[in-house]
Amino acid sequence: MEEHGILGVRPRKQSAARIRGRKWLKNREIWLVALGIALHAIYMLSIFDIYFKSPIVHGMDPVSPRFIPPAKRLVLLVADGLRADKFFEPDSDGNYRATFLRSVIKGKGRWGVSHARPPTESRPGHVAIIAGFYEDPSAVTKGWKANPVEFDSVFNKSRHIFSYGSPDIVPIFCKALPHSTWNTYPHEFEDFATDASFLDEWSFDQFKSIVNRSKEDPKVTQLFQQDQNVIFLHLLGCDSNGHAHRPYSSIYLNNVKVVDRIAEGVYNLLENYFKDNQTAYVFTADHGMSDKGSHGDGHWSNTDTPLVVWGAGVKSPKPASNNDQHHGERFVDEHDMHDTPTPDDWGLSNIERVDVNQADIAPLMSTLLGLPIPVNSVGSLPLDYIDLNKRDEVEVVLANAKQILNQFLRKSQLKQASSFRFKPFEPLSHYTSILDEIESLIAVGDYEHAMKLSQKLRSLGLDGLHYFQTYDWFMLMTVIILGYFGWMLCLILHVLQSYTSLPGKFLKKEEAVFSRERPLKVYLCGSLIMASIFIVLYFEHSPPLYHAYFAMTVFLWTNIFSEYRFLRAIGKYFLQTKESRHVIELSATCIVSIVILELLVRSFTERIMYTWCFLIVGVISSLFLYKSIPWKSGIPIYLWLACWFLSVFTLMPAEIPDNTVLVCISGLIIVVIGGFSRYLDKHIKDNKYWFYLVNRYSKPKFPILFHLQALLVGLSSVLVYLSTSHRTEKRELLALHQVMNWSIAGLSMVLPLFSATDLLSRLTSIFLGFAPPFLLLSIGYEAVFYGALGLALFGWILFENALLYVNKPNKSLTSFEADNGNIILEDGDRCLQLSDMRIPVVFLVFFNIAFFGTGNFASIASFEISSVYRFITIFSPFLMAALLIFKLFIPFMLVICAFSAITKLVKIPRQGCYFLVILCSDVMTIHFFFLVKNTGSWMEIGNSISHFGIVSAQVVFVLLLFALTNIYTKDIQTRSTNEASQKTM
């Protein structure tokens, strides 16, 4: 028998069976968690095999051009982060910023908008410009320092390359080339606290220096006098200034004038040096910049970049016709902005505009120099830029088509060699006859028909590349979906067996809960199926991940079928039960849960869903409690106000505007919330409505802890103001400020460990402890969101506390253990019930509003880089990314701390609730897997991919956050229901 002490239930002596059961359960859950992490990590990678498989193949021969090249050398100027509209539009005084390049557009060359594809980052953008293909996004995660996959480029084929610019870009293309002369500035130069236009001046000065040196050094002179040379200047200033000061700032807009002066300087320098009019010039950008100073997604501000081409082999300006602008080949991404007319304020409506895909620039440069087009290029040569005769035009388009056709043939060959049942791409089954017909048409001088056939062959080649890029989609998607369903069924079986009283109703405990006897026939069949699949995949030369996908799926379903006795018993139980109420309750719970989860899926594209959610929940929860708890307790009205306050933030703009004063005021709000919680902790110890939240025997290790935490919050608010004012005034951030910011952030997160262990005190201390780092990483209204989220989470705790107060006569610990007889639960915990499903579902609602309460974190461009400037101003991508991710994690940690406290409050096993959270999250994951798009605009495609990745990763990092927050919540103590019953008596 158990004994009742003053503080609750004293655990009885544990039996050997109970100890053995707990040990078995612990080992099983470690295995299950490890399996879950492996499964989600592997299945997350499946999107790269399905949607973002590397397009690069090797083994193709370059197609040599059959025409005389119009240019001897080419200059490529890339203004990193330069938006098309900021380049073309006039300033507030009506004056245009790029005066030289506008004179080029009107008198010497051609112009248009180059459309980039997500991810609009520097590396993929430069790969598209220089190599002519769209690098798969997985390559971005592999680092900017070296090529994860070797690929051909215009630089590779050139005679010599001179390149100067950023240490993050230039080495990617030049480091491994023996025929290159290049230099980069140190990383320390990339300081966001300064005007970065001097980086562009540095690149130009380096190039000017090598030109002047060539006049004295015969070796350099010989290099310069060669044909088919490329000069590449990477101009980073606009990107750095856009991140630090926004693209509408005077610093960024002045940087547009700087790059224009550099373009003029390069032109004058080379024309005076060579004096042969044999130099071609290409000016463009790798990506744009959003209004809040970021890039990465498919918004037009990130994808639309300027393109100006002039010099040898380039057509002269042409008056615009009454027809729409020429767009050449149909754009791959079909972006809505491609077909928009030229804005009137650009002042270029009377000059023909020729837009291109970003990958089209590579074949354009290759053609101007007479080089073979890079073998992996998918770009279509924009003929409207090149000044050639009719025969040469056909020859260059035919060379472009052959280069794409060679890729198609190589992919077809590789797939045929590794497939048992190969399905060829029928439209190109007779490609040789098309080539022969084109050659015969060229021979007789019918260039018009030859051009049409060449363009058709090029389009068919691109379609064929897409066909083989998606060849394995159906098979892979089927395996992945079966794997997810198998994983979810394994979770359901584990929770039913280990955390509910259901097994005891139709099986013996020992058999249902920790029987080690497994049917060997099931495992033998599973092993044979897996071995057969592996043999097939081996002979098809499938990638190792294909084996992992099949192995995971077969393994999961083998484990499910090994539980056939339990599954059969469940079926009999529900078929034979005479109480239809259980079936109705189960059905209702499943329907309500799925509806809420589907609304969460919808919220990824419509943040306003959370506004309606909390407006409705605020009213319903208050009215629900009103029947049991009077308004005078303050709890119903508090729930109403807290939910309505939180509902405001998903109406705010996703792009957070700077508001330093609001961040400072938020510090005061956080201190007031903490002070009110401390007041409640001291004055409501005997209040029956708050009984479970406080513990009169719990005391902090330091009496002045609250005052110290409040002081740190206040100091962080002051430092936010000082640090921001220094940056606004263009003054360097003092090292003392940085040291104080780091020290306050670090110290404040340690202090909650020394707070009192009752629920209210510990959660208040955690709330105050994470406030300073969050404030120091905030730039606007998200600082207020921190306080609103804390109030709403406390409302959730109050709601569960109220339910516990209302139902305490029916939920004593002894009655639960007597009912279920489960021998493996922790002391004090009870079995999970169907009604407990509300806790993981509500947890996911709060977890997701922590995602979307202050923006759309499903978009790459939602990361606000300026929020890290109070800790670091020197460009350091990994440290900056770590700070950004840590800022995102802080609201999640608050949610998980509240979740852990609630499981302790209502006496249910946290591990069981964790598995239910994973189960609910995977319902969303499967939905997002089906929502992934491969058609439409790239903005839609990119968002659908990121949504799936976020929800998949959610399962992984929830576990990590559980482990991290357990440091703060493991000591939380709550009063037992037995003590409450005694107090009531």
Residues 162-177 pLDDT 10s: 999 999 899 988 988 8
ω into residue 119 within 30 of 0, thus cis? Answer: yes
In this predicted structure, the answer to whether residue 792 has a pLDDT above a threshold of 90 is: yes
> According to DSSP H, which parts of 93-157 are helical?
99-107, 122-131, 154-157
Candidate ranges 66-80, 490-504, 610-624, 654-668; pick with highest mean pLDDT: 66-80
Give the residue among 455, 368, 292, 303 at the shortest CA–CA distance from 110.
Answer: 368
In this predicted structure, the answer to whether residue 445 has a pLDDT above a threshold of 70 is: yes
Please tell me the predicted confidence (pLDDT) of residue 3: 38
User: For the residues 672-686, what does the mean pLDDT come to?
Assistant: 79
CA dist 215 and 223 (Å) reads 12
Phi (first) and psi of residue 337, to 5 degrees: -75, -10
In this predicted structure, the answer to whether residue 12 has a pLDDT above a threshold of 50 is: no
Please tell me the predicted confidence (pLDDT) of residue 809: 43
Please tell me the predicted confidence (pLDDT) of residue 689: 64
Phi (first) and psi of residue 856, to 5 degrees: -105, 90
Concatenated DSSP letters of 936-955: S-HHHHHHHHHHHHHHHHHH
Are the CB atoms for 331 and 353 separated by under 8 Å?
no
Q: How far is CA 632 from the centre of its chain?
A: 46
The residues with which 308 forms a beta bridge, in sequence order, are 111, 283
Higher pLDDT, 914 or 932: 914
**Can you tell me which residue has the tokens 């003053």?**
6
Helix, strand, or coil (residue 425): coil
CA dist 208 and 767 (Å) reads 57
CA dist 539 and 418 (Å) reads 7
Higher pLDDT, 254 or 519: 254
> According to DSSP H, which parts of 729-781 are helical?
735-750, 759-769, 771-776
Please tell me the predicted confidence (pLDDT) of residue 682: 73
The answer for residues whose C-beta is within 8 angstroms of residue 566's C-beta and 6 or more apart is 493, 496, 497, 503, 507, 512
Are the CB atoms for 507 and 566 separated by under 8 Å?
yes
Q: Which two tokens stand for residue 506?
A: 């139709």
Concatenated DSSP letters of 835-904: GGGHHHHHHHHHHHHHHHTTS-TTSGGG--GGGGTTT--B--HHHHHHHHHHHHHHHHHHHHHHHHHHHH
Number of other CB atoms surrounding residue 444 within 10 Å: 9
Give the residue among 387, 172, 396, 398 at the shortest CA–CA distance from 280.
Answer: 387
User: For the residues 300-318, what does the mean pLDDT come to?
Assistant: 94
The residues with which 3 forms a beta bridge, in sequence order, are 10
Give the tens place of pLDDT for each residue, 558-571.
999 988 888 887 77
Please tell me the predicted confidence (pLDDT) of residue 853: 65
CA dist 985 and 146 (Å) reads 73
Higher pLDDT, 660 or 597: 597
CA dist 235 and 166 (Å) reads 8
The residues with which 73 forms a beta bridge, in sequence order, are 229, 279
Higher pLDDT, 690 or 463: 463
In this predicted structure, the answer to whether residue 409 has a pLDDT above a threshold of 70 is: yes
Please tell me the predicted confidence (pLDDT) of residue 627: 72
Q: Which two tokens stand for residue 435?
A: 């080539």
The answer for residues whose C-beta is within 8 angstroms of residue 805's C-beta and 6 or more apart is 628, 629, 688, 689, 691, 692, 980
Strands 8-10 and 356-357, bridge-based pairing: unpaired
In this predicted structure, the answer to whether residue 9 has a pLDDT above a threshold of 60 is: no
Give the residue among 577, 516, 570, 512 at the shortest CA–CA distance from 822.
Answer: 512
Q: Is 619 exposed, middle or buried (0-12, 13-18, 19+ CB in 10 A)?
A: middle
Torsion of CA 480, 483, 485, 489, to 10 degrees: -170
Sign of CA dihedral 753, 758, 761, 764: positive
pTM (2 decimals)? Answer: 0.69
The answer for residues whose C-beta is within 8 angstroms of residue 820's C-beta and 6 or more apart is 500, 501, 504, 830, 831
Please tell me the predicted confidence (pLDDT) of residue 939: 58
The answer for residues whose C-beta is within 8 angstroms of residue 253's C-beta and 6 or more apart is 86, 91, 97, 247
Compute CA distances 919 → 488, 596, 664, 838, whole Å. 6, 14, 40, 13
Higher pLDDT, 347 or 972: 347
CA dist 985 and 597 (Å) reads 42
Give the tens place of pLDDT for each residue, 833-886.
888 899 999 999 999 888 776 654 444 444 556 667 778 767 667 787 788 878
Are the CB atoms for 825 and 831 separated by under 8 Å?
yes
Rg (CA), the chain: 33
Q: Which helix (H) or strand (E) holds 482?
A: helix 473-499
The residues with which 347 forms a beta bridge, in sequence order, are none
In this predicted structure, the answer to whether residue 537 has a pLDDT above a threshold of 80 is: yes
Q: How confident is the model at residue 334 (pLDDT cuts 50, 70, 90)?
A: very low
Give the residue among 910, 799, 788 at the shortest CA–CA distance from 849.
Answer: 788
Average pLDDT, the chain: 82
Are the CB atoms for 497 and 28 separated by under 8 Å?
no
CA dist 108 and 385 (Å) reads 12
User: For the residues 934-953, what does the mean pLDDT come to?
Assistant: 68
Are the CB atoms for 54 and 352 separated by under 8 Å?
no
Please tell me the predicted confidence (pLDDT) of residue 11: 42
User: For the residues 198-216, what does the mean pLDDT come to?
Assistant: 94
Give the tens place of pLDDT for each residue, 718-747.
888 887 776 665 556 667 778 888 899 899
The residues with which 8 forms a beta bridge, in sequence order, are 5
Helix, strand, or coil (residue 280): strand
Q: Determine what percent of the chain is predicted with pLDDT higher than 70.
A: 82
Give the residue among 509, 528, 512 at the shortest CA–CA distance from 520.
Answer: 528
- Strands in 229-235's sheet, in edge-to-edge order, are 180-184, 160-165, 229-235, 73-79, 279-284, 304-311, 110-115, 356-357
Please tell me the predicted confidence (pLDDT) of residue 32: 86
Higher pLDDT, 434 or 518: 434
Helix, strand, or coil (residue 594): helix
Compute CA distances 737 → 718, 722, 956, whole Å. 11, 8, 35
CA dist 798 and 801 (Å) reads 5
Largest CA distance in the chain: 108
In this predicted structure, the answer to whether residue 200 has a pLDDT above a threshold of 50 is: yes
